Amino acid sequence: MEQCSPKIFIFTALECEAKALVNKFKLKKENIRHPFSIYRGDKIVLTVTGVGKVAMAAGVAYTSAVFPGLESPVMINIGIAGHKTQSVGRLLMASKIVDVDSEKVFYPQLVGANWPETSEIKTMALPSTKYYLDCLNDMEASAFYETAVRFSSCELIHCIKVVSDNGESSIESINSKVVVKWIDNQNIEIEKIVNRLEQMRLSIAISELGEYDEIINKWHFTVSGGIRLKSLLRRWNVLSSNNWLDENDTVFSHGKDVLRKLDADIACLDVKLK
């Protein structure tokens, strides 16, 4: 049952990034054998994926398979990243994520006001001391986001980064002890973000989905397509006060067409960040 299931999933690349979070949220390491280190509490699961895009994508997908069936979970990538000008230890949230290798671009949706300071993130396959001006540099964010959107709603998927190096403090000065300290110093702010996203998840989860039954009865959907439909309708309901079907006179031949059009319509909605 959902009330006994974790609702918040945190992903770090490194054990030292996870340590302060494990202590803060009182998580215990799972005794079950997993290919990744997984720590669990009543409502939070933290997975240490390993460094790099492939490892992060695999960790997110594996964790989602181990804990299936939860609709619209909160999914957060927390870790360190370099920035040319921001001070070491500063917390920033991603407003835009660019994969330098594939050139794919993602836009996390920070709905509402009073979020922490934001920054663009550029994700690279290899560590680099070449800083892109006015943005964070990491090795996992794009893979995290691209994988996570398969399992949840964009409003609930975010990257939180703590600056680990900059133009004056070299990447060579980073070690596990200082990483634990940096994350620990930001734990109060991280907890506020987690709690806010949890409340947002609850509001999405209780949203009326009156259109769902009507749509599911009109067009054929696979099991995974039905889950995707629920997720998209919840996102539409968060961002729009209008009934989606009432807004459309498109003729659909298959559930895949419905999902494609609904996803495109959501992308066109204006998100007002007050």
Per-residue confidence (pLDDT) for residue 270, from 0 to 100:
63
Look at residue 16 and give its three-state secondary structure: helix
Angle among Cα 206, 208, 211 to the nearest 5 degrees reads: 145
- Pinpoint the residues of the chain covered by CATH 3.40.50.1580: 2-203
Beta strands in 100-216 (DSSP E): 105-106, 118-123, 135-138, 157-165
Question: What is the mean predicted confidence (pLDDT) over 218-222?
Answer: 87
Instruction: Reply yes or no on whether the pLDDT at 226 is more than 70.
Output: yes
**pLDDT per residue as tens digits for the range 92-150:** 999 999 999 999 999 998 888 899 999 999 999 988 777 877 899 999 999 999 999 88
Lowest mean pLDDT of 235-239, 248-252, 261-265, name the range: 235-239
Q: Which architecture, in CATH terms, is 2-203?
A: 3-Layer(aba) Sandwich (3.40)
What's the pLDDT band for 272 if we cut at 50, 70, 90? Answer: very low
74 near 99, Cβ under 8 Å? no
Instruction: Reply yes or no on whether the pLDDT at 205 is more than 80.
Output: no
Question: What is the mean predicted confidence (pLDDT) over 2-10?
Answer: 76
* Helix H or strand E encompassing 12: strand 8-12
